[in-house]
Structures are given as structure tokens and as C-alpha cells.
């Protein structure tokens, strides 16, 4: 609480002086209140939960004989380039397919993944091949698009030199 201290009168005769008063504020209740408020807000806040994406990774086969060859009619390849560029083609790289540039927008790669050519083929496998210059955000964005379009079969694959060459020849980077 606040308290006012007064100086006592000296008791000598003469002129009476005005009493000087000084104030003293007790800060103990204020410190207690601050501690209670900090404790209250720490206990009642909710922290952001980390956003995670669940990915089931396949078990690595003991020998390479278990790998099944992918037919060109059942393959779609998405290449993640630098500067948020995105390319895709249907078929295998050995067949020298036409590379098409797209975007991460809803009317870009999402429309391609929802097209009848992809959705009507139950055996369609989407191969995602990020270049070394692509950003991690691009990979997360394409995985989100695959989840949104409910694509069942997709794989993250290392990009081959043939894919890089195909993109450079047809797009001209």
C-alpha cells in the first residue's frame, strides 16, 4: 500500500514551515500480481502443433529381382526444376516424350492429375523427380497436390541425366 511519511515539527518557535511529505509505494503486491498473470497465461495458452505429413516408405527389397518394369502407358513423370518451375510428361524418357511446362496452381498440375488420362488408369504411377536446384517447398507442394487429387501410386525418384537432357532440349533452359 502507499504510505505518506511526514516530518515531525521541531518544536522551536518562529515561522511554521509547510510540512514536506514523501510517498513510498510498496511494490510487493505488484510483483505478486505479475507472477500470477504470467503463470495464468502460460497455463492457458495453446501451442501450435507441428504440421506433419504422413508418408509410408516401402521396405527395401533384398535383391533387385523384385522390381517390376513400368510400362510407358502407365507412367507420368513430374520434374521439379529451379525457380519454382514444374515440368511433366507421359511415358518413359527412352521414348523421347513431349515435355510440358506447368505450375503449382490449382489450374496447373492439379488439373493434369485430375484429367481422365491419369484418373481412368488404375495402374498409372506418377514419378516425382526433383532436380538438385529445386526447393524443398516444391517437393512438399507436389506431395500436397498428389494428396488433394487422391493419387494412389506415386514415387519419389532420383532424376536421371536423360531427364535433365530432355528438359533442356525441349524447354531450352
Give me the tens of pLDDT residue by residue for the chain, a chain 173 residues long. Answer: 556 665 555 556 666 667 777 788 888 889 999 999 999 998 888 877 777 767 666 677 676 555 567 777 788 889 998 888 898 988 888 877 888 888 888 888 888 888 888 888 888 888 899 988 889 898 889 988 888 888 888 888 888 888 888 888 877 65
Torsion of CA 129, 157, 94, 84, to 10 degrees: 0
pTM, full prediction: 0.62
Residue 159's Cα: distance from chain center in Å?
23
Alpha carbon distances (Å) from 160 to 79, 92, 164, 167: 11, 12, 7, 11
- Residue 98: the pLDDT is 85
Q: Contact, 109 vs 78, CB < 8 A?
A: yes
pLDDT at position 34 is 94
Please report the pLDDT score of residue 67 as a whole number.
Answer: 57
Q: What integer pLDDT is reported at residue 73 of this predicted model?
A: 78
d(CA 7, CA 150): 85
Q: What is the rounded radius of gyration, in angstroms, for the C-alpha atoms of the chain?
A: 35
- Domain layout of the chain by residue ranges: 72-171
Instruction: Give SS3 for 69.
Output: coil
Contact criterion met (CB below 8 Å) for 89 and 99: yes
- Residue of 64, 78, 62, 74 lying closest to 144 (CA atoms): 78
Say how far apart CA 98 and CA 166 lie, in whole Å.
9
What is residue 40's predicted lDDT score, i.e. its pLDDT?
93
Q: Return the C-alpha cell found at 127.
A: 514419378
CATH 3.30.420 fits 72-171, yes or no: yes
Amino acid at each position: 500500500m502507499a504510505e505518506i511519511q511526514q516530518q515531525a515539527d521541531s518544536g522551536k518557535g518562529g515561522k511554521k514551515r509547510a510540512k514536506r511529505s514523501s510517498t513510498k509505494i510498496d511494490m510487493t503486491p505488484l510483483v505478486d500480481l505479475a507472477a500470477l498473470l504470467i503463470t495464468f497465461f502460460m497455463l492457458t495458452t495453446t501451442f501450435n502443433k507441428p504440421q506433419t505429413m504422413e508418408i509410408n516408405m516401402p521396405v527395401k527389397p533384398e535383391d533387385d529381382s523384385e522390381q517390376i518394369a513400368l510400362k510407358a502407358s502407365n507412367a507420368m513423370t513430374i520434374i521439379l526444376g529451379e525457380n519454382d518451375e514444374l515440368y511433366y510428361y507421359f511415358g518413359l524418357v527412352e521414348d523421347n516424350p513431349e515435355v510440358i511446362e506447368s505450375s503449382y496452381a490449382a489450374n496447373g498440375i492439379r488439373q493434369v492429375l485430375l484429367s481422365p488420362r491419369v484418373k481412368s488408369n488404375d495402374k498409372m504411377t506418377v514419378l516425382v523427380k526433383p532436380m538438385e536446384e529445386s526447393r524443398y517447398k516444391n517437393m512438399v507442394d507436389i506431395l500436397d497436390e498428389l494428396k488433394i487429387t487422391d493419387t494412389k501410386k506415386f514415387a519419389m525418384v532420383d532424376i536421371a541425366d536423360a531427364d535433365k537432357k530432355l528438359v533442356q532440349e525441349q524447354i531450352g533452359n
